[in-house]
Structure 1
Amino acid sequence: MLRQSAHVRRFFATSAISRNSSSSSSSSKSSSLYAFKSQLDDYIYYHSLSSQWRPLVYRQRNAEVLTSLNAVDKKNNPLTPRQYPGVPSKKKLIKFISLLLTAEEVKLVRSSLEELSKIRISSKTRKGSTKKDSNKGKYLDPSVLNEFLYKSYELDSKLFTENLVWADQIREEDSVWSVKNTEAVAFVRSMIIKTSFPANPEVNFQTMVEKMKHWAAKAEMSETGSILYNASLVVASVYSNSLKENSTALNHLDALTKNKVYTVKPQTDYLQYDHAYSIISALKDASKHEYAENNAQLLELVSRWSTFLADVENLKQNTPSTYERFLSAEEGKRAAAATATAGAAAEPAPEQESADAAKAQQ
């Protein structure tokens, strides 16, 4: 559960505000995030109580009885009357994660996701019977997990690896891992190759393909059947300068998209398309890279997506895509590295400092 630490208070006081130009809209945004965080914590707390205590805590008519019992929760805190928080919006949770700024904030959220993964939800049908939601009644879903992994990579590739291991260790009965998550891992790994090749020879296409076998099996996914998975492999093969030698993914993608390209429903929330839009945008950029060598098959394949990309851009407006966030983060890291290098070069060597000091004393 996210705790009301000074660090978290600082996060909500600064991160949301810094991203809005108007002070009034900033205040509203910050208040909205505070409210969501509070609801998320309260929702986790609700599910931490046994069915024995929930009616006493959350039904107003039982307030006096609860107070008289002097009962405590699992953390030895007094049980007091509360209002039921309702189920937090998953869309708001995704937005909440997207606004995190540091690795520490991501780790705080991970502890919440750990608790949320254990929660089961259900909805009533019109006949009054209970049926599980589309993901076996679990609160978490693949989109939330993807945003968490994407944000982790945006901040630090090592943080991404750490949280990917965490996601893999979620108990099987609690896991929501899907094809969409495996596609996301392939996408991030293609971006790691983009930023690391050829400086780091250990980051290469063949190593990525071997590692992806585990994630494909985890999602029970056919490696030849996913458009976005194969698109990510093509991106990786381009940036590892091995498209010709590793044309299998390109051929799979070509076959998959000859008669099937995603279409966009008007007036739909952009977030529904961000995953696909980001990967296809990365594919489009890769097709223009010098390592692609104007590959005719790849260029023709990318052209099939022009309508999809244009339609999503109309929905997207000023919302940065996951891919754009990655590019911005890359630029920021390069600038920081250049500044650090320039600073180190400007500092005099210890020998020079000693010589200068000796001259000053003469």
Structure 2
Amino acid sequence: MSYCNNICWNPEDVYLALIGGLLIGLATSIHYMLMGRVTGFSGIYYSLITFDKGSWNWKLSLMSSVMLASCIMFKIYDNGQSSILYGASPSYNSEQLLTGIGWGGSVLSGFLVGFGTKMGNGCTSGHGVCGLPRLSIRSFVAVGTFMGMGFITATFRYWVINKDFYGPSDNIFSAYDYSIISTVFLCTSVALIVLCFVLQNIQDKSKIIDVAVASLTGFIFGLGLVISGMVQRLKIISFLTISDIWDPSLAFVMITAVGVNFITFRILDKPVFNTKFELPTNKTVDLKLVLGAAIFGMGWGIGGLCPGPAIALYPEFTIQIGIIFMIFLGVGQVTANFVVEKTKGAEIMSKPLL
């Protein structure tokens, strides 16, 4: 069973991964240096669905700017027909056994990703892009765990599980419809960004800079996601699958982004527009962290998605990703928060492992 003739990586993939990783590193560096904040998409998404009043405006503007950048790139690259977007959605590839994510798979993947990122306090952006350059031991453990579980799950899926397990993966839209759909989401993202500025101006004008920096961060991050290939589910699943279709090029995205942040995170003693760096205070490596990272890795290996790329995929909208995955991502996060609160006093969950 081989799809090597269609998807084998080439030198151009590495160049795009390096450029995309550079942009992702630049975006997270801007957010860190100007506002003192870690750009963790799973945490941002949880704040949005739970309506965190203190940060809702800038977090919505950041997410909307990721979508805006993706929409613009989608328009530039022939409405998804270019190789830079190939495999991002089930509608643009025929290898459904490899990349198809049916409704059942969307539910399972979304829930596991949400549950795992909330329990483990981070995903590829928070723990990976922003945690590793800070030399956080928790992030090193989390990244190693979810990467390992992602490889195991995707490889098992490729060799063992039949595609019917995931349910139907056909999309209800035709390729022709994507020009209209991408325009709708482009306009929606612009409207949401403007709304965030208006709301912030009404609520607290002094913090309008939060929305401005977040918008810039999200836009550059979104460009990085598309250019690097992180919106290509086909490429992500290929990266996580140990077989003849293995594509290691995405490793260069993380290496470059972490390398950029390793330097920039050490330039300033305090952020430009904030009084201090708002960094995670928990330094304990406990069972919650490991379990959360492992569960996230399972969901990532099944669907090839985490919160940032899922938002960037709205220009080529699918029910499986745009609605089902995102809803159950939130359900997983809320469930994990409930479980964590209920087990807060349990020694086995919070006992240091290192």
TM-score, with normalisation over the residues of structure 1? 0.21
* Higher relative contact order (CA closer than 8 Å, sequence separation 6+): 2
